[in-house]
Amino acid sequence: MTNPEHFPVHIAPMLDWTTRHCRYLFRLLTRHAVLYTEMIHANALIHGPRENLLRFDQSEHTVICQLGGSDPLALAQAAKHVEDAGYDAVNLNVGCPSARVQSGNFGACLMAEPLLVAECVSAMQAAVGIPVTVKTRLGIDEQDSYEFAYRFIDIVSQTGCTEFTLHARKAWLNGLSPKENRDVPPLNYERVHQLKRDFSQLSILINGGLTSWDACLAHKGHCDGVMVGRFAYHEPRELLQVDKLFYGDNSEKMTLAQVVKAYCHYAQRELAQGAKLKGLCNPLLNLCNGMTGARAFRRYLSEHSHGEGNGMEVIAKAFSLVA
């Protein structure tokens, strides 16, 4: 662990969720948590609207771009674009189990090909100076032994890759949806802890089923950090606690009203540059969960985020409905 006083929190890459607007909101709530983009396929950066896909606000640092793919040359080229855009690191997805991802031969199915993953990581490392990290599972289908996970990490780490985020369950490549794969295969935290003991020289972060800060802190001393996903987007207000609990930062945090005011200024700027109000409102939908008026807040945002000519005043009005 780089700093014994810190137990890093990473907010997982989540498709259709961790947009740049969402990441901006998260950064208002926590100064220190590490943010990730949605997964972007390497080919999308090479052939698609690269500037738009990689756009982010400078306040988001530390921010990591997650790539998908299995072609070493394409991943190397995409990683270079990520570095040139100013990201702090690039992460390779070896954990997504969706059928669409499998059909492209990337994501979790690559766990069966650790030599190919190592080749991809090596190519990316040769192309960039920023860190290249890997997010993966503990196994796939019937290949779920400790030895399988150990061999995967052993082979890939020989490239010089020093950071792995381990979703503490295997993935079923056939028969379960991506949503079911986040819940049905049983969690095995002890296996992640054992992998950290056996690879003590590596940074091992744990992911999966972490729905409270107490649950996250239970892994301190066993892993080098935690990655939370659904907890962050279902209960974003909880992120206000991260800096003190995990980084020892006792400086005054923003109030929720200050967060909303700052986000309104950001929304006004983004709207002037052509952003859609709906995309700006979506990250806010769960912000007031548990508060009186939360339902009215969500309803107002949902009903008024499509209106022609509507602007950031929709956000301010929605927040005025919260007690």
For the stretch 41-80, pLDDT in tens is: 999 999 999 999 999 999 999 999 999 999 999 999 999 9
One domain, residues 207 and 299: no
- The fraction of the chain above a pLDDT of 90, given in percent, is 88
Q: Mean pLDDT across the chain, nearest whole number? A: 94
Q: Which residues contact 56 (CB under 8 A, 6 or more apart)?
A: 20, 23, 37, 63, 85, 86, 87
Residues 233 and 306 in one domain: no
Does some domain include residue 196? yes
Last residue of a domain, one of 208, 228, 247: 247
Residues 308 and 201 in one domain: no
Radius of gyration for the chain, computed over Cα atoms and rounded to the nearest angstrom: 20
Asked if 236 contacts 286 with a C-beta cutoff of 8 angstroms, the reply is yes
Question: Are 139 and 236 found together in one domain?
Answer: yes
Question: Alpha-carbon distance 166 to 206, whole Å?
Answer: 5
Range of the domain at 315: 256-320
Q: Which amino acid is at 5?
A: E
Question: Do both 121 and 225 map to the same domain?
Answer: yes
pLDDT band at 1 (very low <50, low <70, confident <90, very high): very low
Q: Which pairing describes strands 132-136 and 163-167: parallel, antiparallel, or unpaired?
A: parallel
Question: Does residue 177 fall inside a structural domain?
Answer: yes
Strands (E), the chain: 9-11, 35-36, 40-41, 63-68, 89-94, 132-136, 163-167, 203-207, 225-228
Q: Are 17 and 87 in the same domain? A: yes
**More confident position, 107 or 67:** 67
Identify whether residues 240 and 315 lie together within a single domain: no
Give yes or no: residues 89 and 142 share one domain: yes
In a domain, 3, yes or no: no
Domain count, the chain: 2
Q: Is residue 1 part of a domain?
A: no
Mean per-residue pLDDT, 195-215? 98
CA 113 to chain centre: 24
The answer on 195 and 102 residing in a single domain is yes
Last residue of a domain, one of 247, 266, 290: 247
Residues 132 and 272 in one domain: no
Each residue's pLDDT tens digit, 230-267 = 999 999 999 999 999 999 999 999 999 999 999 999 99
- Return the bridge partners of 9, or none: 226
pLDDT at residue 181 in the model: 78
- Structure confidence by residue, pLDDT tens digits, 165-202: 999 999 998 878 878 878 889 999 999 999 999 999 99
| CATH number of the domain encompassing residue 292 | 1.20.120.1460
Q: Are residues 265 and 172 part of one domain?
A: no
pLDDT, position 57: 97
- Regarding whether 58 and 186 lie in a shared domain, the answer is yes
Looking from the CA of 136 toward its CB, the CA atoms found within 13 Å total 28
**307 inside domain:** yes
CATH number for the domain spanning 226: value is: 3.20.20.70
Q: Among 212, 230, 247, which residue terminates a domain?
A: 247
What average pLDDT does the segment 272-282 reach? 96
What mean pLDDT do residues 86-96 have?
A: 96
Segment 265-290 shows an average pLDDT of 96
Would 2 be classed as within a structural domain?
Answer: no
Q: Which of 22, 96, 109, 161 is catalytic?
A: 96
Nearest residue to 208 (alpha-carbon basis) of 225, 221, 226: 226
- The question of whether 96 is a catalytic residue gets the answer yes
In a domain, 266, yes or no: yes
The confidence band for 97, taking pLDDT boundaries of 50, 70 and 90, is confident
